[in-house]
Amino acid sequence: MVVGVDTFCCDPYLPCRIILAFVLTPEEKMRYRIGLLIDSLIGGGAERITLNFAEQFSKLGHDVHVFLVKNEIQHVTKDAQYQIHPVSEDGEFSKNKFFNKLELAKRLKNKVHSIEKSDGKEFLFFISSAEDMDRLSKMAGLDNTIIRYRNSIKVYLQSKIGNKQGLKKIERTIRWKRKFKSVYAGRHIVTVSKALIDEFDELNIRSKSIRNIYNPFDFDTIRKRASEPVNYPDEPYIIYVAKLENRKRQDVLLRAYAEAKASQKLVLLGGVYTDSDIQWQNDMKALAKELGIEEKVVFAGFDQNPYPWIKNAQLFVMSSDSEGLPTVLIESLIVGTKVVSTNCPTGPSEILTGQLASYLSPVGESGPLAVNIVRALEEYPEIDESLISQYRSEMVAKAYIEHAKALFEA
């Protein structure tokens, strides 16, 4: 509620700025201010999850702000009940990485303080869902940040160590563990799967607090959007929705698809965002040609609404080397599409349980994945709603708020 207006001029040569003074009503005081931190809103699972949080917290009546490292938005945010604040246009202020991070952290801190000063209401907490924001939130002194940890630490460290052997392997292992601990030790962590808590323990990373809360999914919205018209193929198809990158292992899927000799087409729905992504996409097109399946494989690119594609597929297949809690597996089950997946760290084994567990296959192996593709197309258990009820967005959002209140409210 506005109770007064004041004006001042910070520079005699510039127009005056207007400052609005606010007093919060009792209803407004009951609302929490919540910040969501992400690098951008390009197409991807982490970005969709961040917007799921934003929408659900807003539905619960809270004041939600999404902070971006870069002003890149592909997802639909029209008529959103939350505000979006890019920290920069492209994330680049200096060629020096350290000074660049300092500038980004300063701008993030200033944006947060500006919002808080506008009405005197502080943020109860922030959720960081990107590696850049994990670092920047610490540098900005946002101590009430909860890091939504979302990928296998072991796989992450292995990717940094590479194929080094002997002393070089030891040196890299020590260096990257130290870097990881410098960001995550002593922080408030919420893991997206239970298995990730075990990885923190095994690697002796001592967080300030740690617990598991699954990612949020708005079942009603997903199912409604799944009925919208899109240009998916008229003929039967199998689908994989993922960014085109080597961690998603589209190469394993292409080989498994060729081995399965499925009559359905294969749709790869996902965008490319870096030079390495473009190279990977080119490699996959070359592999499809080498396998003699190029006429049956559709590289469909990014679509803001993947749900009709998933709903109308005969089977969803995931071939990743690593995940946190694979968004697309849960979304597929929500719209009633059969799922086959590699049993990668982490998440698939927590999603595909009971009878569905037999549709998990070893990471990196096309043969067992091909067998499961054939088997799933022939027969598949009924998808029980009880398997996915724990991912409902309202339950997840309330769990985060209660957790944050316990951590940060005086």
Cα–Cα distance between 226 and 43 in angstroms, integer? 17
Q: Is 388 helix (H, G, I), strand (E, B) or coil?
A: coil
pLDDT score, position 162 = 85
Distance CA 311, CA 11 (A): 58
- Please name each of the domains of the chain with its CATH number: 34-216+392-408 (3.40.50.2000), 219-390 (3.40.50.2000)
* Verdict on whether the full-model pTM lies above 0.85: no
- Rounded to whole angstroms, the Cα distance separating 168 from 15 reads 60
3-state secondary structure of 369: helix
Q: What is the pLDDT of residues 162-195, one digit of tens each?
A: 888 899 899 998 999 999 999 999 999 999 999 9
What's the rounded Cα separation, in Å, for the pair 119 and 127? 22
The radius of gyration computed from the CA coordinates of the chain, to the nearest angstrom, equals: 23
* pLDDT tens digit sequence for 206-219: 999 999 999 999 99
Helical ranges in 31-165 per DSSP H = 45-59, 97-119, 131-139, 153-161
Instruction: Give dist(CA 189, CA 205) in Å, integer.
Output: 11
CA–CA dist 57, 34 (Å, integer): 8
Q: What is the pLDDT along the chain (410 residues), one digit of tens a residue?
A: 433 333 333 333 334 433 344 455 555 556 999 999 999 998 778 898 999 999 999 999 999 999 999 999 988 787 899 999 999 999 999 889 999 999 999 999 999 999 999 999 999 999 999 999 999 999 999 999 999 999 888 888 888 888 888 998 999 989 999 999 999 999 999 999 999 999 999 999 999 999 999 999 999 999 999 999 988 888 999 999 999 999 999 999 999 999 999 999 999 999 998 999 999 999 999 999 999 999 999 999 999 899 999 999 999 999 999 998 999 999 999 999 999 999 999 999 999 999 999 999 999 999 999 999 999 999 999 999 999 999 999 999 999 999 999 999 96
Q: State phi, psi for 65 to the nearest 5 degrees.
A: -130, 130
d(CA 47, CA 50): 5
Cα–Cα distances in angstroms (integers) from residue 336 to residues 255, 264, 308, 312, in the given order:
26, 18, 11, 9
- Pair 240, 250: CB distance under 8 Å: yes
**Which pLDDT score is estimated for 77?**
82
Mean of the per-residue pLDDT values for the chain? 91
The closest of 123, 157, 155 to 141, measured between CA atoms, is 123
For 211, phi then psi, to 5°, come to -160, 170
